[in-house]
Structure 1
Amino acid sequence: MRELNGRVAVVTGAGSGIGRALAARFAAEGMAVAIADIEAGPLEETRAELAAAGAKVFAEVVDVGDEAAVRAFADRVFDAFGAVHLLCNNAGVFTGGQMWTRPVADFEWTFRVNTWGVLHGVQAFVPRMIEQGTEGHVVNTASVAGLFGAPFSGAYTMSKFATYAATECLAHEFAVSGVKLRASVLCPGGVATGIAAAERNRPAALAAERTPDQDFIDQVIAGAVTGGIAPADVADAVVRAVREERFLILTHDSYRPGLTARAEDLAAGRLPGLPDFESRD
């Protein structure tokens, strides 16, 4: 989908970080933008910034883990703009720790947002995007942790591997069905976002006591995002990928050789090695 001007984009997790940068980048391309986030204050900041820049914007507080809420959001977006051409299922959370010390609640929360949130977005928006008969694109935000397994992040990594797999399946389904939609999976490395503080949005029903292993990996993640690339750089990469119909969007070129090494390790039956997750390249 090369032409973005005059079309409509949807971005979840748009209150901050990559989501806010995506919304701003799409608006700069002349797109109308529908944005959602679970935090009302940051979402309103994004809406105000876009509106001040002259963009057509619709904003709504949405919990992407709630299927009914996402479907209702989709209804209102189509009512507001009449069509959707670019869907970015971007909302995501992180919690870490060893798989044998952290409770099932960690896994329920991360899958609810990172995986079910993507599925809810696809099911709420894609059928009507297909019915439009126009070109369109779906971008699902996974992570390099959706390509490379890592210690101390089982819940997050499992959810992001699932998001990667879902997007690959979706892309193949688009291709064999002959529809005019394409799909990309965004796999960021270190990006300067607030994901290290994602626990602020954890539902009380899924709360869990902290453990030392969780504290350790949280410090690692905080360091990685503090020195990470700007979210605006990620948004630029997404726009290029949509125009080029590229499936995999990496934010750091240093991960590309690791994908080859990973494939070779797997083909030989070896446990794949770990890439430099804190790479700045």
Structure 2
Amino acid sequence: MSASVKAFRGGTAVITGAAAGVGAGLARHAALALGMNVVLVDVDESALERTCAEITDDGGRATPAVTDVRDADAVQSLADRVTKESGPPRLLVNNAGVLQFGYLWDVPVANWERLVSVNIDGVFHGVRAFMPHLLAQSEPAWVLNMASIGAVAAWPLQTPYIMSKHAVLALTECLHQEVALAGARHIRVSAVLPGAVTSRIFDDAGGVDSGDLSAAEREREEMFRVRERAISPEEAAATILSQAADGEFYIVTQPESVLGAMRDRAAQLTARRAPAPPRSRFVTPQPE
């Protein structure tokens, strides 16, 4: 029996942003490979229903929970309901996230506020709503917050997203210490830093309404090319939950790229070296 099966089998998992992408991959793996009862959380009701149906058709246990992670009261109601019906979750994954392209000064205020409320507030709401339930019991539990390779890098034309993932990483590092300080040894907190994983996050990312529209769209096209080298959500999920079961704090899906980014970041900070933008992003294409 694998460590992840031993750790998670029979427990309840709550996964936000679970209708598609890595969230759906985590839900499928948790339900079908690990035998968990999975509560899938998302705002996209139709996609959520489809993903749940796929899991149940394959013999897994999946329940949809249409919830906006930006709404603290809605997330609290979800936590209370799940705990009442199934007990505190063994696995909580705060995964919901959105992306934004374009120069920072061109980003619409509404897009900035939406990204911050999903990517940062959504993680806070999940922790705040579920943690008291986890603290009140003694069974082992795992809290995974979805950061990104972007949490240890600085990348132009995606500033709101990169900023949010730095924030999630810092939140998770501090939360890990607070859980230890509170003496809650049964709760394990991890930061997940995946590299490129196949999803629609680049398709659905916000753009800009004015300013340099072409820069935003060129960045989107560049990310489409990155996606061609991405791993599948299922592969990412198996790696993430295996490392979680092994007790890793920094969970990485592609060590060669993510650990490389960590080393580069550490070297840059130690040398007090200002980040340099990739030249190709700032060169105006010449007409053919």
What TM-score, normalized to structure 2?
Answer: 0.88
For the 8 Å contact 1:95–1:218, the answer to whether it is kept is no
Equivalent pair of 1:191/1:230 in contact (CA under 8 Å): yes
Q: Determine the structure 2 residue equivalent to 1:17.
A: 21
Aligned partner of 2:166: which letter?
F
2:263 corresponds, among 251, 260, 274, to: 260
1:198 deviates by 2.3
The 8 Å contact of residues 208 and 216 in structure 2, kept in 1 or not, is answered as: no
The CA distance in 2 between the partners of 1:274 and 1:187, in whole Å, is 22
Structure-1 residue corresponding to 2:196: 190
Task: Work out whether residues 149 and 261 of structure 2, in 8 Å CA contact, stay in contact via their aligned partners in 1.
Answer: no
User: 40, 47, 64: which is aligned to 1:59?
Assistant: 64
Q: CA deviation at 1:246?
A: 0.4
Contact 2:147 2:166 in 1 (8 A): yes
Aligned residues: 269
Pairwise CA distance, 1:184: 1.0
Q: Which residue of 2 aligns with 1:216?
A: 218
Give distance in 1, aligned partners of 2:239 and 2:209.
38
Structure 2 residue identity aligned to 1:51: T
Which residue matches 1:76? Answer: 81
Give CA deviations for 1:119-156 in whole Å, capped at 9, x if unaligned.
01101111101112111111111111111010111111
1:177 aligned to which of 169, 176, 182: 182
Equivalent residue for 1:157, pick from 159, 162, 168: 162
Secondary structure of the residue aligned to 1:100 is helix
RMSD: 1.9
Of the three residues 254, 260, 274, the one matched with 1:271 is 274
AA aligned to 1:132 is: Q
Could you report, residue by residue, the CA deviation over 1:190-246 in whole angstroms, capped at 9, with x for unpaired residues?
A: 1111101224xx7xxxx9626222212111222222431111111011111111110
Contact 1:148 1:274 in 2 (8 A): no
Question: One-letter code of the match for 1:140?
Answer: N
Alpha-carbon distance in structure 2 between the residues aligned to 1:47 and 1:66: 22
Trace 1:2-41 onto structure 2 (pairs within 5 A).
2-27=6-31, 28-41=33-46
Query: Which of these two proteins has the greater Rg computed from alpha carbons?
Result: 2
Unaligned runs of at least 5 residues, structure 1: 276-281
Are the equivalent residues in 2 in contact too, given 1:191–1:224 (CA < 8 A)?
A: no
Q: Deviations over 1:82-116 (max 9, x none)?
A: 22111000111101111122233232111111111
- Residue 183 of structure 1 aligns with an amino acid whose one-letter code is V
Checking the alignment, whether the CA contact within 8 Å between 1:106 and 1:155 is kept in structure 2 is no
- The offset of 1:24, in angstroms, is 0.9
Q: Partner amino acid for 1:61?
A: V
- Between stretches 1-10 and 229-238, larger displacement belongs to 1-10
Correspondence for 2:284:
none
Q: Say if 2:240 and 2:252, in contact at 8 Å, map to a contact too.
A: no
Does the 8 Å contact 1:92/1:113 carry over to 2?
yes
Contact 1:58/1:77, CA 8 A, preserved across alignment: no
One-letter code of the match for 2:195?
G
1:159-205 deviations in whole A, cap 9, x for unaligned?
Answer: 11101111111111112222011111111211111101224xx7xxx
Task: Please state how far the C-alpha of 1:259 moved relative to its aligned partner.
Answer: 1.6
Aligned to 1:183, the other structure's residue is in SS state: strand
Identity in percent:
35
Does the 8 Å contact 2:91/2:143 carry over to 1? yes
TM-score (norm 1): 0.90
CA displacement at 1:18 relative to structure 2: 0.5
User: Following the alignment from structure 1 to structure 2, what is the Cα–Cα distance between the partners of residues 191 and 81?
Assistant: 31
Closer, same or farther: CA 226–72 of 1 in aligned 2, 3 Å: farther
- Report what 2:285 is aligned to: none
The residue number in structure 1 matching 2:232 is 230
Q: What is the distance in 2 between the residues matched to 1:106 and 1:225?
A: 23
- Separation (CA, whole Å) in 2 of partners of 1:165 and 1:274: 24
* 1:86 corresponds to which of 88, 91, 101: 91
